Amino acid sequence: MNKQRAQEIASSPVMANVTYDGVPIYIQHVDEQGETARIYPLGQPENEQQVSLNSLVEE
Protein backbone atom coordinates (compact mmCIF):
# COMPACT_ATOMS: atom_id res chain seq x y z
CA MET A 1 0.00 0.00 0.00
CA ASN A 2 1.35 3.45 -0.77
CA LYS A 3 1.82 5.89 2.09
CA GLN A 4 -0.68 8.46 0.79
CA ARG A 5 -3.49 5.88 0.73
CA ALA A 6 -2.50 4.55 4.15
CA GLN A 7 -2.60 8.11 5.53
CA GLU A 8 -6.07 8.65 3.99
CA ILE A 9 -7.35 5.46 5.58
CA ALA A 10 -5.83 6.28 8.98
CA SER A 11 -7.41 9.74 9.07
CA SER A 12 -10.79 8.73 7.65
CA PRO A 13 -13.77 8.15 9.95
CA VAL A 14 -14.94 5.45 7.50
CA MET A 15 -13.59 1.97 8.15
CA ALA A 16 -11.63 0.56 5.19
CA ASN A 17 -11.06 -3.14 4.54
CA VAL A 18 -7.32 -3.48 5.07
CA THR A 19 -5.48 -6.68 5.95
CA TYR A 20 -2.06 -7.67 7.21
CA ASP A 21 -1.16 -11.34 6.56
CA GLY A 22 -4.82 -11.95 5.75
CA VAL A 23 -6.03 -10.52 9.09
CA PRO A 24 -8.34 -7.46 9.06
CA ILE A 25 -6.57 -4.58 10.80
CA TYR A 26 -7.03 -0.99 11.94
CA ILE A 27 -4.35 1.58 11.03
CA GLN A 28 -3.58 3.81 14.01
CA HIS A 29 -0.73 5.88 12.64
CA VAL A 30 1.42 6.14 9.50
CA ASP A 31 5.14 6.96 9.72
CA GLU A 32 5.77 8.50 6.31
CA GLN A 33 9.56 8.70 6.67
CA GLY A 34 9.97 5.11 7.81
CA GLU A 35 7.17 3.94 5.48
CA THR A 36 5.63 1.94 8.31
CA ALA A 37 2.26 1.89 10.03
CA ARG A 38 1.19 1.22 13.61
CA ILE A 39 -1.66 -1.29 13.35
CA TYR A 40 -3.67 -3.78 15.36
CA PRO A 41 -6.08 -6.58 14.46
CA LEU A 42 -9.73 -5.50 14.63
CA GLY A 43 -11.03 -5.91 18.18
CA GLN A 44 -7.52 -6.51 19.57
CA PRO A 45 -5.95 -3.10 20.34
CA GLU A 46 -3.62 -4.77 22.85
CA ASN A 47 -1.85 -6.51 19.91
CA GLU A 48 -0.45 -3.31 18.41
CA GLN A 49 2.54 -3.62 16.08
CA GLN A 50 4.66 -1.61 13.65
CA VAL A 51 4.70 -3.03 10.10
CA SER A 52 5.88 -2.03 6.63
CA LEU A 53 3.31 -0.27 4.44
CA ASN A 54 4.20 -2.77 1.70
CA SER A 55 2.72 -5.58 3.81
CA LEU A 56 -0.75 -3.94 4.01
CA VAL A 57 -3.43 -4.86 1.47
CA GLU A 58 -6.66 -2.97 0.83
CA GLU A 59 -9.43 -5.41 -0.03
Please tell me the predicted confidence (pLDDT) of residue 47.
97
Whole-prediction pTM: 0.89
Condensed to tens digits (0 to 9), the pLDDT of residues 15-59 reads 899 999 999 999 999 998 999 999 999 999 999 999 999 999 999
Alpha-carbon span 8 to 47, nearest angstrom: 22
Give the pLDDT of residue 46: 97
What does the pLDDT read at residue 27? 97
Residue 39 identity (one-letter amino acid): I
Query: Which pLDDT does position 20 carry in this prediction?
Result: 97
Residue 50 has what pLDDT?
98
